[in-house]
Chain A
Amino acid sequence: MRDALTLTTLALAAALAAPAAGALELTATPAWQGWSRPGRTTEIELRVAGSGNVTITVVADRHRATAATAPEPGRPTRLRLPVEAAPVVEVAAAASAGGAARVSVPLALAESPLLAVVTAAADLHAPAGFQPVAMVAGDLPASAAAYGSIDALLIDATALAALDTQQWTALLGYVGNCGRMVLIGATDEAARLYATAAGCGGRAFAAVATAAEAPDALAGLLRRAVASPPAAAGLAVIARDDLGQWHAVVGAALAAAALLVLGTIFLPSLAAQAVLAAAAAIGAGWFVQSRPVESQLLVWAEAGPGDRLAQYRALLRSTLARRGDTELPIPAELAAPRPCRELQGATWAWSAEDLRYGAVSVQGRLFEQVSLCFGGNFPVARAAQWRAAGEGRIAVRNDGASNWPAGTLSWAGTLVPMPGVAPGAEFLADADAATGPTSAPGRQALARTLPGSVTILWPLDLGPVQHASDRSQGWLLLTAAADAQRDGA
């Protein structure tokens, strides 16, 4: 099957003859040598040669993306777009000055977990159940989202040194997102850098001296549990109802009905009734169509004991009012955007300047809800430790360097309101002060707290996130480390 796949597909515009100077040329190369898995994200690298403005369209199953570029004669431009994995990705380019090119990129979708092996060592034995795929540094993607194609990565220092800046940033993002990675033969400095950047307290990262040690190190990583936050789509349980558009429609309908009743009383002619009914219909429709999109952003982040990075999942739910083409901006601060459920007729607009999807266009209608899911990580400086304090109480100490804002302690199936705590100070939680969950985030915190552990829930400030409405909510759930030495004191 592998032989049948052309991993680097060259498509020269449909012209049969040799291309003339300035003719549009399009080359598409998939990341991971074309390997991916169903439902995952991969990446396509596009090289466009020609002149003038060129519009590129990429279609992969239900995923449709567009990008605009302006190559100069003799200087092809390069774009690397994350796309949904599909058996075939169709890429088309059209120049404003005329000329078009089209190419099909076949992908190999594996059923088994994929192990990307980016090392020259030939005698590597992949753990059972994995499908190893040998790669070179150039096969690695430039976006962290495209690392969704693989399930583990073995990479050596030589390949690491060959990565360009975008690839390197993407790899750091993968490691930060708790992606499993074994680094082979790296210097202590490089290993320390990646260990520092690794999410989940480094439980998914290992550095070994030789390639022979890599399989055992990977097997060790697989034995470690890596907790992940709840799925972004599941965050709808903590969302508030989006009823702004509904209220507007009720208001418009009542106003129209009142207008018709008044018209019936004071202007009983048929012509006047027809004009009033048409005016009320157009007016109500126009009022509803002119309303802005109502969005609600929900972010749920979790950090384990000693974690430097919190893993987050986010849900951006937009309720539309406008019938027809509606453009939804994608917040730059949130990583790996994707539709939470199938989005018919959606087009994702790639921003070549920002190297991310900047907006998604959908064929909207009144009351339609479009949900976009995100996932990534951000650094946290908070650290907590807890110990039993006798008489059914526990003490939680602020082990970080900054003040804690007020939050909620989740412990033994109960919630305890917690005031702000200074660094080094303790908060004594009494079972008598415990309450049941009165809010959806509180219920979520209880559900996410393992038996025997203590977590603290804080609201997140979503102010810096663009396009986050006032109704948006963000939460950080931090698991406190158990103080073994002082436990039971």
Chain B
Amino acid sequence: MSTRLGMMLGLLLALPVGAWWLVATRVALGGGGATAPLAAQALFVLSAARPMLVSMVGLRTAALGGFQDGARTALPMVLAAWPLLALAWLASTASLSRVLAVEAALLLHALLVALLGHGLRHALRDLRWTVPLATILGIALAAGAWLLAGLWRPALGG
């Protein structure tokens, strides 16, 4: 169930980003505009939105079900965007090594979030406190990802 949840959430995140990118590219092709900046923006949005989603959902799932449940939910949220990521990279000027480095960092982040949720579960033991605390911590991590996203934006050509 965790894997399905993570994959569906990942797809629900990738879908609007992909739709926006393709529609914007269609408009640019019709009007003679540049398409590479649009691809760079799509790459950036994917690299910023996924850790936010992973932080909020993965942490809570791990706090409720442990590391394995957390990892099974968090990792598919990252994986689901890979086909879109591949297509957007082909249209961008970003280097492959940097895009792969960002993906590796996102996978590592998903595992760390699951580990953090697992730690919360064992540290608090009381479910009444675990869930709200995991939710608050997840939101804080998501906000941190939002604030820090500008750091890797230049690496993706944005």
Contacts and interface: CB of A to CB of B under 8 A. Distances in A.
Contact of B80 (A277, A284, A365): A277
A165 interface: no
B79 to A, nearest CB: 4
Interface in B23-42: 25-26, 28-30, 32, 35-36, 39
Nearest to B19: A253
Contacts of A368: 35-36
A47 B135 CA distance: 75
B93 A365 contact: yes
Contact of B90 (A273, A280, A365, A369): A365
19 contacts: A246-B26, A246-B29, A249-B22, A250-B22, A256-B83, A257-B14, A257-B83, A260-B7, A260-B80, A260-B83, A264-B4, A270-B75, A273-B79, A274-B75, A281-B85, A288-B87, A365-B90, A366-B91, A367-B39
Nearest to B81: A277
Of listed A261, A265, A365, A368, residue having the most chain B CB within 10 A: A365
B76 A365 contact: no
A365 B91 contact: yes
B11 interface: yes
Contacts of A277: 76, 79-80, 82-83
Interface in A237-275: 241-243, 246, 249-250, 252-253, 256-257, 260-261, 263-265, 268-270, 273-274
B93 A281 contact: no
Interface string A272-310: 011001101111110011000000000000000000000
Contact of A269 (B3, B18, B35, B89): B3
Nearest to B32: A236
B87 A366 contact: yes
A323 interface: yes
A260 B22 contact: no
Main SS of the interface on chain B?
helix
Contacts of A365: 36, 90-93
B131 to A, nearest CB: 24
B15 interface: yes
Contacts of B35: 366-368
A243 B79 contact: no
A249 B15 CA distance: 14
B84 interface: yes
A319 interface: yes
A474 B36 CA distance: 30
Contacts of B7: 260, 263-264, 273
Nearest 5 pairs of A and B residues by beta carbon: A256-B83, A366-B91, A277-B79, A366-B90, A281-B86
B8 interface: yes
Contacts of A284: 83, 86-87
Given A261-B11, A273-B3, A253 B82 contact: no
Nearest to A280: B83
Contacts of B30: 241
